[in-house]
């Protein structure tokens, strides 16, 4: 560890504080940054977190005062976010762009399957005697379906462009929907299976195209447009509704606030503009 890091390290400093506003308690994560010159607040739409960035020499007391002063701002920004949709009985979630209602079948055998109800509704059925297992079974099902759809789409585009993929990984990325490494490994978010098929298809084409053009130059976009006619349509859909996909499968913490089921949180650009401390 560098001497600079040791200088500003606070081993016993809390990692979060609770801010109350109108009877509701909101958790605010604390992040100390060596380049920060003031206290700033931001709400990250994807992770549904309020984050307070502190300057190197800032104090916990000042951070708490700053967060409490702007409690109403935090509450209003969090309230604007789409509500969390945990994987529970009765919750509606999209599957390939089509809304399905989660239906727990306690006495049924099997795992997860889709069917149409007597009223014409699309159902995502989950067989489990224990309701606590419903969320995990749906998560595993969606991840498998995403892997199948993505691998099929990637295979179509690699054949068309005459390229090879070393490996395909399915993850729960926050900052991007897909990525391509210089070694030829592709990575995608499983949440793409929630979106319409043309969106997943576009992301597969996008990453495969990077195997020829490891950039976002005009030549790359011309290549992508040639192999994926729905490129602009898919980009518009992601810009308008992409962030909403991250609310599905979120659980609720002890304070009643939604939290992602991921083990870690990554920063991303899909956030509200930060509020800075007045000079």
DSSP string, 155-220: HHHHHHHT---SEEEEE--SS-SEEE-TTSEEEEEGGGGGS-HHHHHHHHHHHHHTTT--S--HHH
pLDDT tens per residue, range 151-170? 999 999 999 999 999 999 99
Place of tokens 């994987």: 87
Enumerate helices (H) and strands (E) in the chain, giving the number of each: 7, 14
Maximum C-alpha span of the chain: 68
Both tokens of residue 2? 């560098």
Sign of the Cα pseudo-torsion (188, 190, 193, 196, in order): negative
What would the pLDDT profile of 71-124 be if each residue is shown by its tens digit? Answer: 898 888 888 887 889 999 999 999 999 999 999 999 888 899 999 999 999 999
User: pLDDT in tens for each of the 279 residues of the chain?
Assistant: 455 544 555 557 788 888 888 778 888 989 898 888 999 998 887 777 899 999 988 888 898 899 899 989 888 888 888 788 999 999 999 999 999 999 999 988 889 999 999 999 999 999 988 888 999 999 999 999 999 999 999 999 999 999 999 999 999 887 789 999 999 999 999 999 999 999 999 999 999 999 999 999 999 999 999 999 999 999 999 999 998 999 999 875 433 344 444 333 222 233 333 444 443
Identify the structural domains of the chain with CATH numbers, from first to last.
3-83+254-276 (no CATH), 92-249 (3.30.2010.10)
């Amino acid at each position: 560890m560098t001497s600079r890091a040791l200088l500003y390290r606070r081993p016993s400093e809390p990692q979060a504080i609770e801010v109350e506003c109108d009877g509701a308690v909101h958790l605010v994560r604390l992040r100390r940054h060596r380049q920060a010159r003031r206290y700033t607040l931001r709400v990250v739409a994807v992770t549904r977190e309020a984050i307070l960035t502190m300057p190197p020499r800032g104090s916990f007391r000042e951070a708490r005062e700053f967060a409490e002063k702007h409690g109403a701002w935090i509450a209003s920004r969090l309230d604007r976010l789409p509500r969390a949709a945990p994987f529970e009985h009765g919750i509606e979630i999209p599957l390939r762009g089509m809304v399905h209602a989660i239906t727990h079948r306690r006495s049924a055998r099997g795992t997860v399957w889709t069917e149409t109800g007597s009223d014409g509704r699309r159902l995502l059925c989950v067989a489990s005697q224990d309701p606590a297992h419903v969320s995990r079974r749906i998560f595993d099902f969606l991840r498998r379906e995403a892997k199948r759809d993505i691998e099929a789409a990637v295979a179509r585009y690699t054949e068309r462009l005459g390229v090879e993929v070393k490996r395909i990984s399915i993850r729960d990325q926050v900052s991007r929907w897909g990525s391509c490494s210089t070694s030829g490994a592709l990575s995608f978010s499983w949440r793409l299976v929630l979106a319409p098929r043309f969106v997943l298809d576009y992301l597969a084409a996008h990453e495969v195209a990077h195997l020829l053009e490891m950039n976002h130059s005009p030549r790359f976009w011309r290549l992508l447009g040639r192999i994926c006619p729905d490129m602009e349509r898919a980009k518009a859909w992601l810009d308008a509704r992409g962030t909403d996909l991250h609310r599905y499968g979120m659980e609720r913490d002890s304070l009643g606030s939604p939290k992602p089921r991921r083990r870690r949180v990554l920063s991303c650009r899909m956030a509200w503009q930060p509020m800075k401390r007045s000079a």
